[in-house]
Amino acid sequence: MATIFAGATLRDFRASSEGDDIKVEWETGDENNVQNFIIERNNYESSLGSSQSFLEIKSIQPKGSNSYYSFLDESLFKTNDYVFQYRLKIVDMDGTITYSNTISVTPKISGLKRTWGSIKAMFR
């Protein structure tokens, strides 16, 4: 089902865990007067029941109507305690801003990867 925004029709918006990263993908129908798409992420720590504000992590220029977009979020430290939430900020040429729905991804990390990730984080 397509969602219509001020400057774009969003056909699909999804995110999935891809190894150590999260892949964010979307498809558009019409793209009229879209200046750019901005991917935003929120880290929700389920064990504490708290979340941060959405942060802009990537700006992507529009390709035109009926396009497919993909972004690999490599800038995060995945743990089993976090749920990563993503949304698109769609900016029109006239400055109008609209937001997509929010999608969530819960990473599935093995004990070995979790330990290795903790060791890597200590040396960043």
Q: What pLDDT tens digit does each residue of the chain (124 aa) get?
A: 567 666 788 999 999 988 778 999 999 999 988 999 999 998 776 555 555 689 999 999 999 999 999 999 988 766 666 788 999 999 999 999 999 999 998 876 655 454 555 555 656 5
- Report the Cα 10 to chain-centroid distance in Å: 14
Beta carbons within 10 angstroms of residue 100's beta carbon: 19
Going 73 to 77 to 79 to 82, the CA torsion angle's sign is negative
Domain spans of the chain, in order of start: 3-122
> Could you tell me the pTM of the whole model?
0.78
Both tokens of residue 1? Answer: 């089902």
CATH of domain 3-122: 2.60.40.10
Q: Show Cβ contacts of residue 123 under 8 Å, excluding neighbours closer than 6 positions.
A: none
